[in-house]
Structure 1
Amino acid sequence: MKTLIITCGCLEPSKDGIGDYCFNLAKAIKLLGVKVVLVSINDFYVKSFREETREDIQLCRIPARNNWQQKYRLFKNISETVSPDHISFQYVIYAFHKKGLPVVAHQFLVGILKSYEVSIMMHEPWIGRSKEDSLRHKVIGYFQQIIIKQLINGISPIKVFTSNIAFSRLLKDNGIQNKVLPLFSNIPFSKNALQQLPQLFNENQLFLFEKSLKIVLFGRIPFSWRKEEFVRWLDGKHITIMVAGRSDQDSANNLRHEIKGLSGKINFIALGELSKEQVSTLLQYADAGLALTPPQILGKSGVVAAYKEHGLPIILAGNNERFLETDLSGPEQLDKLSLDISLDDQLEKLKRKPSYSGVQLIAETFLNGVSDLKETKNAYPI
């Protein structure tokens, strides 16, 4: 492969997790000798079509305000000009329609992508897949499943990827063959980052708690997770919780009050939004990372990927998600700390593992998946 297009919804830096994922993947693939062009086809952060270069990567950004006929013409012209050997379609259904029903968008996307060799990265399938989901979500999910299958049939990709075993089984149970391509972290391991720790805490007028068990949480905080069970699980231990990053549904202050209301013995530090280097510093300083994603779909979480790449032990505190008619049993949770087992009985799981760079491994795996293991066209009859 000499030339690759990676396309997604939005490419605004630090504003769209999938966009950041695409940019980091593009940089890693470029290091392997492949020319990469990034195309966002429903970008809310540009008002008109924009071409730009970021860290020697070419970006083409199509604004969301354009109608789909205009987007089609722009994307078609880009594809014809670049003439890629392959297009990687990074798919999230809500990136192309705010209500998650992109019927018109799919028609135009199929019109372009069916003429090229394409792989699809299914970052998240339809909603309403869990037994706990509302009837409304299940109805929407039913129609999402139909239009996703129509999209795949129309494009006939050589490969469909997804990020975790649970999604993979869900897709296979519904006739969509796929391969797991784990997420990598958008927070790279920063060497010598611990040297910045005193400055980070001094800037925030905070004290270091060396003798406590330091648990870090960063990224989005969901409205519902196993909060009370988590606090009970820590009962009697000297604990410091360090929270960093944006929180969409619960603010760090609300979380602080809730935790303090459940236990006055837990130290709580809110650091706000940090740079990637500062987050890496915090992950290297912490003793464990708190994962609020449902344990069954840990692989879809960039936060969990960051914990893993920093060698950080992971505490599972997300609500369980029970997929409809899908077996979720598997070994992927065995090395994580469970709230259902006392902390004292899991102390061996608090040992750090070696850090590593996931993005380069995933870039190589992706290229092997679409180059050496090509499947025939029309490989996904549904």
Structure 2
Amino acid sequence: MKKQFFVVGAGLLFLAAVSSFSSNASGSADPADSLLFRTPKNFPAPVYNFQGNHLTEAGFKLGRKLFYDPILSSDKSISCANCHQQFASFAQLDHPVSHGVDDCLGTRNTPTLINLAWEKEFMWDGGVNHIEISSMNALTNPCEMANNLPEIVKRLKQSESYPALFKQVFQTDEINSQLFFKAITQFIGTLVSANSKYDQVIRHENGAKFTDPELSGYALFKTNCAACHSEPLFTDQSYRNKGLDLKSDDAGRDSITHLASDHGKFRVPTLRNVEVSSPYMHDGRFNTLEEVLEHYNSGVHNAPNLDPLLKQNGHLGISLNKQQQSQLIAFLKTLTDRQFLNNDLFKEPK
């Protein structure tokens, strides 16, 4: 039998169907001890479960306020949301690479912020290994928000609203960088996207069924793509060289491991909401899914450490004709979660 749960406070309504979300695999209470976060029943257990950072409605709202507040950038001109736009699955639709203060352009595409609680490492190169500090780079990068933690904490302490909000959430008069990161995480950690057409088909909900092109595309996906973009997260969280260049100008994973074998390897991104999160690749070089698939079909370079899956039987890439590419794209569009993209809870607070 389907159930519904409600959390009502300060005029904020949280509504979800337990038919789509469940407690952890053991059947015990959800580790977050909150109705703000639930593990979708077709998902594995999360890596991050808010232990040590008790998730509350007040904490969620504080994190959301911080996420949308330009006070965090050096010149107070941009917020996290400038580069992480909800309608683009919290990626950045209008720039191939990050666009920071003083119109500075970075070197890498803004990644989508969804299902982060299931991630073990963050950034294109995996340079961060904990969700609570995953925003550090954007905050301090001179070509993004160009600020520093002491200055951010100082501003929050001196603001009219934040001291009371932090006290309400953390029961202390103190504001420090640790509490700041915990607050941000109470928002970004709840950005769970798991109600696409694909999810409804897999969970046998609402009579959802794939069309013939979508079903054909799903078969092609499982044969050609699933080894890297494994279900249900649609990433295996590995780092791979996709043959974008013979030698990448960006060292990628090599910048963290300092291994030549990792040069030009980048994190496999999730394909959830990929329809709306263009441009694609670590440098945003492709604007459309058609361009991406044509790269794999005919544009793969034989880099020294090209992923073995892209070099099989003496052939580079993944051969798909135009009809097959169209079918595959039809399936990829079933990963679009319109409910998530339009969820009022994640929008900028009024």
**More strand by percentage:** 1
Superposed pair shares fold, TM > 0.5? no
TM-score, normalization: structure 2? 0.32
